[in-house]
Structures are given as structure tokens and as C-alpha cells.
Structure 1
Amino acid sequence: MISKSFLVSVIVVLLSACTGPQTLYDWGQYEQTLFIHYHDPALKEQALKEYIAFIEQGGTQEHPIAPGLYAEAGTFMLEQGDIESAVKFYQMEHDAWPESRPMLSVLIENLEGQIDG
């Protein structure tokens, strides 16, 4: 006969499997936006608006915006020719993630030179 502790353990494992994945960072709809951006030009503008709105609202203390997402928004803006918005998002990435500072400092400086020049 199955022991009660074994049965309880099985139930706990099964119930914990129902909670869904927990992530350290807030990714929003990043994967869908990236797919649409490169594969569905008709929906690209709307997907980009939603992505930028997500980035501008920011994450939470418990789940900050994932590394690279601010920079991705900056790249989307740069592709559209909006250098000032690109610099803004690159600066947000620079401020949020110290690991990215060496590369982004140079990128921001070069883009600001284009704005001023």
C-alpha cells in the first residue's frame, strides 16, 4: 500500500508543476515583438509601439526589465532614424546594467556627435 507521505509528496510535486515558470527578469512580449519586427512588416509598427510602451513603463523591483531590452529598443529607434530616442534607450541600458557600460558609452558618444554635428 502507498504510504501517506509518498502520496502527499506526489500531490505537492504535481501542484507545484502547475504554477508556471518564474523568471528573474521581466521580458514582456519581447519574443513576439522580435519575430514580428523581422517577419511581419504589416504589424511591425504596432508591435514596436507596444514594445516601447512596455520598456518605458519599466519593470518592478522584483522583476526588472531584462538585460539588453533597453538597448534593443534603442536599436529599433535607430533603424527608424530617431537618433535621440535611440540615445535615450541606450542610456537607460547603460544606467541599468553596468556590464554594458563600456560598449554603450562609446555608442552613445558617437550618436550624440551625430545629433550635435
Structure 2
Amino acid sequence: MNRKLLFAVGVLGLLSACVAPQTMYDWGQYEQTLFVHYHEPALKKEALADYIAFVEQGGRPDHPLAPGLYAEAGTFLLEEGDLSGAMRFYQMEYDAWPESRPMLGTLIENLEARIDE
């Protein structure tokens, strides 16, 4: 009987180790996108398109997007020269995370000035 109990506990331990931990926020494929963005130039456009589509979905009320993901999408678009797209995502970050308003407010003002030139 002791062996059966030990075996059952071992199997449960192995199975629980296979379950990914649930985080407070939805990160999607953020880490993979960053890796591709900086290390796989041939795949960059496709990875960024997938990332932008993911961020536009906006997560769920019980599992929102992680702080900074909207702003990161905006920065990716800014690097591509899409000022209005960048501003849209910066505004989404500004609206979603009040803590980011001082920095994002400045970014948005600077982009508005660049667009108006």
C-alpha cells in the first residue's frame, strides 16, 4: 500500500509540474515576439502583425493585458514609421493604466506635435 500511495503522489506531482502557472495578466507571445524582433529579421513583420492583432483584442476583464503591452505595440509601430498607429496604442495604454499617464501623456503630446508639423 505504501508503494501505491507513493506512486500516486509522484504521478500527481509530475502532472502538476506540467501545468503552466496562471499569471494575473495576459502576456500572450510577448517574449517570443521580442526575441524575433531583435534576432530574426526575416520573421519580424509576421511576428509583429501577430503581436499587434493580439494586443488589439485587449484581453479579458478577469485576465487583462499586462501593463506596457499596448505601449510596446505603439513603439513597434513607431519604429516602422506609423505615427498614428503608435499614438493609438499609446492612448490605449494611457486609458488602461493610470500609473503610466505621466510618461504616456508626454509621448502622446510629442507625437501629436510631430504629426502636426
**TM-score bracket for the superposition, by shorter chain length:** 0.7 to 0.9
TM-score (norm 2): 0.87
1:88 equivalent in alignment to 2:111: no
1:44-102 CA-partner distances (Å, limit 9, x unpaired): 00000000000001101111011111000000000011000000000011111111000
Give the whole-Å Cα distance in 2 for the aligned partners of 1:19 and 1:55.
Answer: 24
Q: Which amino acid aligns with 2:97?
A: W
Question: What 5-or-longer segments of structure 2 have no aligned partner?
Answer: none
Q: Could you tell me the percent identity over the aligned residues?
A: 71
Residue aligning to 1:22: 22
C-alpha distance 32-18 of structure 1, shift in aligned 2 (>3 A): closer
Give the whole-Å Cα distance in 2 for the aligned partners of 1:40 and 1:16.
Answer: 34
SS across alignment from 2:67? coil
TM-score (norm 1): 0.87
1:47 equivalent in alignment to 2:14: no
The CA RMSD measured in Å over matched residues stands at 2.2
SS across alignment from 2:109? helix
C-alpha distance 18-42 of structure 1, shift in aligned 2 (>3 A): closer
Number of residues of Structure 1 aligned to a counterpart in Structure 2? 116
Q: Deviation of residue 17 (structure 1)?
A: 3.5
Q: Which amino acid aligns with 1:107?
A: L
Give the whole-Å Cα distance in 2 for the aligned partners of 1:59 and 1:85.
Answer: 19
Residue aligning to 1:61: 61
Question: What 5-or-longer segments of structure 1 have no aligned partner?
Answer: none
SS across alignment from 1:26? coil
